[in-house]
Structures are given as C-alpha cells and as structure tokens.
Structure 1
Amino acid sequence: MSKKSIVIGSGIAGLAAAIRLQTKGFRVQVFESNSFAGGKLSEFHLGEYRFDFGPSLFTLPEEVDELFKITGRDPKDYFEYVRLPVNCHYFWEDGQKLHAYANTDKFAEEVETKLGEPAKKVKSNLQHSAYLYERLAPLFMHRSLHKVNTWTNGDALKSYFQLNKLGLFDTMNGANAKQFDNQKLVQLFNRYATYNGSDPYQTPATLNIIPHLEFNKGAYFPKKGMHDITASLYKLAVDIGVNFQFDSPVEKVLVEKGIANGVVVAGKEHKADLVVNNMDMVNAYKTILKDQKQPKKLLEQPKSSSAMIFYWGIKQHFPELDLHNILFSQNYKEEFDHIFKKKSIYEDPTVYINITSIYKADDAPKGCMNWFTMINVPNNQGQDWDELISEARKNVIQKINRTLKTDIEALIEVEEIVDPRIIESKTSSAQGALYGNSSNNKYAAFLRHANYSSEIKNLYFCGGSVHPGGGIPLCLLSAKIMSEMIA
C-alpha cells in the first residue's frame, strides 16, 4: 500500500505540495481551516464586482505549468494566461507619468524621453538584474540553503568568485542611487523591495534580482483572474486523487519519538507517514507545534510589512489606468521609516491600484472598474487600526484626487476594507505580515525556516514564511524544494 502524507493548509504552496506528493505515489490528505482553498490567493464579490483577495502580480508562470506537466496533463486544458504588454503605469504628483513597457528597449526609450535618464543605463540595470538571477536563483530559489550540497555544487562555486557583484554589501537604494541620477527612476526600482515586504533603504541590493522577473522574463495575467491559479491547481489536485477536508483546522501535529506521524483534527487522530506544514511557520509553532522544541531565533525575527486594502467598485472608467498602477509618495524614505521604524502609516503613502476589469471585463459592470487599492503598512503590533484606517482612507483618497485630478469618493459604489488584523485572522499569517520574516538585512535569506524540521523527522514546511520566501513563484518553489527531499 502506498504511503500517506498529510498537508496542513491549502495555500498555493500547500496545493503544489499536495500535487507533487500525489505524483510521487503518496496518498495525500489536505486539512484546511477555511471553507475554500487558496489562502491569500482567493476571491470574493461585492455586488456586481469581483475582486482577487490577495496577490495581484503573476510572474514565472512556468512554475504553475510544471505542476500540470508532471501529472501528464496539458496546462492549457486547465489554465491560460497572457503576457502583459505594459507591466505598470507610474504616476507622480508633479504630473509626470511613465509606462513600464514589457519590451525593455521600449521601456528604456520611455525612461530617456520622460525622465532624461540614458536608455543605456536602464538596459545595463536590467542586464545586471538578469546576472543576479543567473548567479543567485540556483542557490536561493531552487535549492535548500540548509543542505551542504547547496554550497559545494558548481553553481555555488561560480558565485563565490563574484561576491562583489552580487549586492551583498550594499542596500537596494544604495545600488540604485549609484546607477541612476534621476530620483524618480531610483524610486521606481526601489519599489521592488515591497515585493517581499522589505525596506529598500535596508534590504540588500541582491533583491535587485526582482526586476528581471518582471521585465526580462515577463509579467502575466491569468485570463480568469488571479484566483484561477488556485482554482486550476485545486481542480488538478482533485483530478489526480488528492483528498481535501475543509473547515478542518489542525489542532496538533502528532510526534512520537521525534517522528511526525499524523495530526489531530476535531479531537480525532489522523495518522500519516509524513506531515507537510503550509501554515505560517510562526503561528504553527505557537499552536499545532507548541509542545515541540521552538526555533526561538527564527520566531523572534522581525516580520515583513503588511497591507491595507480598499476594495472599491468605481462607477467610472479611467482610460489612463492599466492593470497595475502606482501613485508614488513624494517622500519615499519617510514612508518606509513610518512602516518599519515608527510602526505607523505615512500621511502621503504610495498607492497601488490593481484593476483586473481592464483584462477581464466581467469583473465590473460596463463603464465601471474594480479597484484593488493598496498601501504598504506595518505588521500588526497592537496599533489602533480603526484610527489608522480612518486616517489612511482619507489620505489615500486625497492622494488619488491630486494625482488623477478627480473626486474618487463620489465614484465609490461598493467598498470592503482589509487591514493586518483581518489578514492575520483569515490567513494565519503571524502579525498579518504578508511575507513572513522581513528581508531587511543581508543575512535574511539564512534566517528563514528550512523546508524540513531539523528536530522532527518526517515533518516538512512550505509556503511564504519559510525558504525561499513569499510571493507566488517562491511559494511554488518552496513546495518543489520540499518534495525533492522526499524519496
């Protein structure tokens, strides 16, 4: 009889883990505390408007496609997506606008025309981002940092001779400020720190790897919305025999003589040959692993930023807006100081507006738009969130009005607000942090939990709170790294 594995949680990494283990011959059972799969990657409706709850950017689609291919399926039978011609529209309050075209030559020309920064500098920067990816991805994205062979293979040896070029000894802002003279362009490239909830003025310049994913490899949009990533992988998992139990929070991981051999759900024991935890690592140790040895150093690491999201049904079409839009703060340094040092929200926040109805018209009524309006905020440390929401909502609306020359509040037809408390309660993310531990120091990559337990045999980990990090691609890779450890 085949061996049984239990996966705790059906976030994107939990789904990927379940598919990979089932393909390896395990009988997989997934226990999910919610009534639906996907975790942050879910959807909801407000009247005639549809919204994706969480992640809004889709890169490295091949990591999704691979899950279908390893089961012998054609990805197109389940899931389709398109590459974006424009990655983002950028706006500054002085009236400056910039289109981040997916074509790097066109983007570089746009930058030179609009900002006066030589196109060759932009191309050089993106070439360096590709170089970082070539050197660092094999180490930090596709392997466990906690296994000796990661540091003794050929990829690692090549990197040892190039340490001065990998950005380990500079900050993201420091590197970008050396590369560009125009402060708006520095700000644009500093924004990529937010892709894993970090501060560009603290996080190492190695994170300048991120623009490569968006520009050189491409940003995409699932034809049925971001939630279709979840829906298609859930359907695949069911089709290959994975068993899902919803509304079934795990109460405890069973450990006997240092070996994980099951879980407790609703007071009942469910035995298994191995257990995979997709729950936030910090909350897992505080709850379902509270009787086990605690990795105190990891648990005490500072957490990433969180988000405040205003889901708005807007009864007007704005032709100047695209799928992804950024309205920049006039003082980026002060904004990040508020988030990470003052644990508060700056009065002039950078506003991100995601509008899926641009590509999926039925997400909003005709002539209307569904705005996923987000600002970066500190994680939950007991702030007065009701007061912060009230103030932030006013500042966000004023920011939009100044930048787009409109009166947006009069156009809001429906509204839902999500803050770090809600993110924490709905997704079990410690302190509502979106990406687990922060990456605000050069050792951050080494301060993430491994994809396995060094103390408990047959207990594995995947998801955004463990190696290699948060975001859809890294979550999928965490499941891949984990599954490759299992014979």
Structure 2
Amino acid sequence: MPNAIVIGAGIGGIATALRLNKIGYDVTVLEANSYPGGKLYTKDVHGYRFDLGPSLFTMPHLVDELFTLFDIDPKSFFEYSKKEVICNYFWEDGTTFSANGDSDVFIKEAAKTFGESESHLKSYVNSNTKKYDLTSSLFLEKSLHKASTYLSVDTIKAILQIGKLDVDITLNALNEKTFQSAKLVQLFNRFATYNGSSPYQTPGIMSMIPHLEMNYGTFFPKGGMVQISKSLYELAVRQGVTFKFNEKVNHIKVEQNKAIGVASTKRDYMADITVSNMDIFPTYKNLLQDQSHPTKVLEQERSSSALIFYWGISREFPELDLHNIFFSENYQEEFSAIFEKRTIFKDPTVYINITSKEEKVDAPEGHENWFVMINVPGNYGQDWEQLKTEARIHIISKINKILGVDIEPLIMAEHILDPIGIERDTSSYRGSLYGAASNSKFAAFLRHPNFSNSIKNLYFCGGSVHPGGGIPLCLLSAKIVGDLVPKV
C-alpha cells in the first residue's frame, strides 16, 4: 500500500488524511502540538470552557460528508443544531438588530429596522446567491491552477456573466450603491472580515459570503466548536490513520524534483505523497529552504489577525446570543488602522461569542463564557503589551456604553490570545487568521495552489492556500487535494 505523510493536524490536515485514506493510502499525520485541531482547540479557565479559535459554523454538510465517505452516520460522532438567530448587532445610538436565519424574515425585519426597501434587500440577497452559484465550482471546489478547470461548463457560464460578479467595485462601494442606511452598509461590509480582509479594498464579489449564512444557515456543534476537529480525529483513528503528536517536521525531503518524505525531530519518514497543512509561508521558509520559492505568492499582504479576551462573566445577559457584534462608530478608520497603519483603532468593532448560551456546562450556573474578539493587524513587531492594555480599556468602554453595565467587576477569569500567540501555537505567519488577505480582485488567483508546480508528489491544504481560510474552505482544500492525488 502506498503511503502519505500529512504535516499538521489542523482541520484541513485531518480532512486530507481521511480522503487519502479513503482512496487507498496508508496515512501518517505529524503534528508539532500535543493535540489535533490546530486553531480548533479548547481551553478551560477556572471553570469556564472556551473554544480558542473559529467560532462560526456554517456548511456542516462538508463535515458530514467525511463520515458518509466511510458509510458512517455522522450523528454517531457529531451532532449540531441550527440557529434561528444568526447574530445580534448593536450600535452606540441604541439601535439593535437580530439577524434571523430565515432570509425572508431577515429581509422583512431589516427593511423595517433600517428603513430600506424590501425589494432592494431581496434583490441584493438573490444577487449574492447567484454569485455563489456561478463561482463556487470554480473558486471553491476545484483547483484554480489546472487548465481543466477553465474548460468546464460552469466556468464558461461564470465568464459570460462576469459583469454580474462585481469584481471591479469594492464591497463597500457595492453596498453603498445598494442601500441608503449606513448601518445596513456596515452590517454587510462586516462579511469582508470572514476572510480577514477590508470591505474598502476587497471586491464586491465577496457579497456572496452572506449567502452562506442566509441560505445554508449557522449552526452550533454539541460540545462546542472543538467537537468538529475532535470527531474527525476520532473518525480518522478509527479508519487507521496514524497520528504522531509532539513531533515537529523540520524538512521536506526532495530528490530529483520529487518529494520523497520528511525529516521530523524524531526520525525520517519516506512517503509516496507529502501534504503540508502548515501555513504556506513557513512551509517554504522552514521546510523547503533549499528549494525555489514562489516569491510573489509569499509576499502577498497577510489577512488580519485577532486579539481575543476570554472572560468568565459572573452574570447572564439575556439581550446577548451566541454571536454578537458591537459596531465601531467609524468603520473605515478601523480598517485603515488595521491594514494601513498596522495598529488597533481606538474604537474597535467588538465580537462576543458566548457558547454557554447553547451549552450551559461551559460556564458555572448564572455565569457566561465570553469570547471577546477584535480584528487587529498581524504581528509586525508592534508593542503588543501596550496595544493589549489599551484595547482592553476601549473594549470595556464600548461594552459598558452599549449594555449600560460596568463589566470590569464581573470578569472572574481571563485568558488573552494575541497575534504572537496565534503564530506561536499554529505556525500562522504573522498570526494571520486566513493566510493572504483578499484585498484585490486578483487575490484568489494569487493564493498558492494545492499542489507544487516544481516538486512532484507535494501537495498543500489548509487556510493559507486555495481556496482560503475558515472551516468550510479548509475542508474544501482537502477535497481538492483528494481529487488531485493519484488514486491507488
């Protein structure tokens, strides 16, 4: 049986291991950390449980699909429930809006709250769906770097209707052209952050991102987000995939332009197929030092990172749900600070995720576990201790103002994760959450492909390569690799 090595047990690495196992490879996954999941991990802080990484779960069928590949009922490993409310939005002038998961209800309630035409909203939502339908097979499900992709019927359809994709206008310009309400523009601009980009730079085609929430829905996994990686890891072990933790890969072995295995901190491994789930930048800089590097790809602008405060809160807030957004009063200045000045804006948009709304055991009775996050630049050598101190003050001030509360005395436990910690724990270059940013219409084509053009038998998966970051796209990257690798 031919064998494969997967470097990294992030969600993309585990999914790739499963797909390679299914097509006949003996798969070994090498992971530098002591646990599987990469960013999808968990931490207990004085009795409060937190998911450390991604907090939004969409497109659960991509997880289910990995179980059905092996004729296993996903529910025997993994369960989830659909959310009625996608997110609660708050502004400092007292405006609030609960985004319903039913698109018809969303349209009706948004039109009423923001004084917009229902027909404009419906047209916008339908346009987003069409963009997704036209481009998903090209940009998400296949390699952008294979000629066969461009010969498909789906690609020809997309090219013929390129004028409808809004690639020559920014997301913000599209939203301002569509809506009169500045608040509704801000709400839809927020979706640029789903791939770590700026709505003032990323193209309007990114307006298709809300389609994933409004048409597929948002979900909560029983046991928290960590159950996604945990259940897939358990499935992989059951199928015979070997995992070796606390074993860092130092080098990908290449002979005669062919990957032949890896050297780890413990031993050398020979392999017929090698897949890196590691961020593409350190993959080249650390593991392929003696090979030519795709300089243009590696020098792309990195996505935003995150500063996260994990707070145990000693009371419950009925006005909050699983997902909550407290908007900045000056969104454009916030993104200018992140991407141009590489600092934290003094009035950041605050995202609060509270899993104890769904899983009571995640916090003591009468308490809540707050995952409090703001978008920040990657690590470029800033004084993060000072930035964290200042950001904490500004975050608390915004929460106090919007909720009419003094939150500081209610914080019973605290853990902080910054871009330095994200880079340290996940090898994500500069602590970026999504690899390269999508701040140009060519960004998708500049992402590294899922295979090497110069080294045979070497493949790449995960959030820093095509099709991008986030759980669904990482799972799709694994699917693309599975389709590219020769079947046994």
Report SS of the residue matched to 2:151: coil
CA distance in 1, matches of 2:306, 2:256: 41
Q: In structure 2, what residue type is equivalent to 1:182?
A: S
Task: Report the equivalent of 2:362.
Answer: 363
CA distance in 2, matches of 1:139, 1:152: 11
CA distance in 2, matches of 1:446, 1:470: 14
Task: Report the equivalent of 1:420.
Answer: 419
Contact 1:437 1:465 in 2 (8 A): yes
Q: Give the Å deviation of 1:112.
A: 2.0
CA distance in 1, matches of 2:15, 2:316: 37
The answer to whether structure 1 residue 377 and structure 2 residue 376 are counterparts is: yes
Q: Deviations over 1:86-123 (max 9, x none)?
A: 00000000000000000112111211222111222222
Task: Report the equivalent of 2:328.
Answer: 329
**Aligned length in residues:** 486
Q: Give the Å deviation of 1:58.
A: 0.5
CA distance in 2, matches of 1:135, 1:178: 22
Task: Report the equivalent of 2:203.
Answer: 204
Report SS of the residue matched to 2:476: helix
Q: In structure 2, what residue type is equivalent to 1:42?
A: Y
Q: In structure 2, what residue type is equivalent to 1:209?
A: M
Task: Report the equivalent of 1:302.
Answer: 301
CA distance in 2, matches of 1:39, 1:296: 26
Q: In structure 2, what residue type is equivalent to 1:134?
A: D
Q: Give the Å deviation of 1:65.
A: 0.5
Contact 1:126 1:216 in 2 (8 A): no
CA distance in 2, matches of 1:323, 1:124: 28
Task: Report the equivalent of 1:44.
Answer: 43
Q: Give the Å deviation of 1:191.
A: 0.1
CA distance in 2, matches of 1:228, 1:376: 25
CA distance in 1, matches of 2:455, 2:348: 44
Report SS of the residue matched to 2:116: coil
Report SS of the residue matched to 2:369: strand
CA distance in 2, matches of 1:341, 1:266: 39
Task: Report the equivalent of 2:474.
Answer: 475
Contact 1:328 1:349 in 2 (8 A): yes
CA distance in 2, matches of 1:88, 1:124: 21
Report SS of the residue matched to 2:87: strand
Task: Report the equivalent of 2:390.
Answer: 391
Given the two structures, how large is their TM-score scaled by the length of structure 2? 0.99
Given the two structures, how large is their TM-score scaled by the length of structure 1? 0.99
Q: Give the Å deviation of 1:265.
A: 1.1
Q: In structure 2, what residue type is equivalent to 1:44?
A: K
CA distance in 1, matches of 2:4, 2:159: 38
Q: Deviations over 1:108-145 (max 9, x none)?
A: 12112221112222221111110011001010000000
CA distance in 1, matches of 2:461, 2:315: 41
Task: Report the equivalent of 2:14.
Answer: 15
Q: Deviations over 1:176-232 (max 9, x none)?
A: 111110000000000000000000000001111100000111111101110000110
Q: Give the Å deviation of 1:267.
A: 5.2
Report SS of the residue matched to 1:255: strand
Report SS of the residue matched to 1:169: coil
Q: Which stretch shifts more, 288-297 or 315-324?
A: 288-297
The answer to whether structure 1 residue 54 and structure 2 residue 53 are counterparts is: yes
CA distance in 2, matches of 1:380, 1:266: 27
Task: Report the equivalent of 1:252.
Answer: 251
Report SS of the residue matched to 2:287: coil
Q: In structure 2, what residue type is equivalent to 1:123?
A: K
Contact 2:4 2:25 in 1 (8 A): yes
Q: Deviations over 1:319-358 (max 9, x none)?
A: 0000000000000000000000010111000000000000
CA distance in 1, matches of 2:186, 2:465: 28
Contact 2:305 2:377 in 1 (8 A): yes
CA distance in 1, matches of 2:36, 2:122: 40
Q: Deviations over 1:413-466 (max 9, x none)?
A: 000011000000000000000000110000000110000000100000000000
Q: In structure 2, what residue type is equivalent to 1:314?
A: I
Report 1:20-419 matches (<5 A).
20-266=19-265, 268-419=267-418
Report SS of the residue matched to 1:326: strand
CA distance in 2, matches of 1:3, 1:71: 19
CA distance in 1, matches of 2:159, 2:22: 36
Contact 1:452 1:459 in 2 (8 A): yes
Q: In structure 1, what residue type is equivalent to 2:129?
A: A
Contact 2:247 2:266 in 1 (8 A): no
CA distance in 2, matches of 1:437, 1:112: 35
CA distance in 1, matches of 2:332, 2:480: 36
Contact 2:311 2:372 in 1 (8 A): yes
Q: In structure 1, what residue type is equivalent to 2:216?
A: K
Show structure 1 runs of 4+ deviating over 4 A. Answer: none
Q: In structure 2, what residue type is equivalent to 1:274?
A: I
Aligned-residue sequence identity (percent) comes to 54
Task: Report the equivalent of 1:438.
Answer: 437
Contact 1:111 1:118 in 2 (8 A): no
Q: Which stretch shifts more, 289-298 or 191-200?
A: 289-298
Q: Which stretch shifts more, 355-364 or 120-129?
A: 120-129
CA distance in 1, matches of 2:174, 2:113: 22
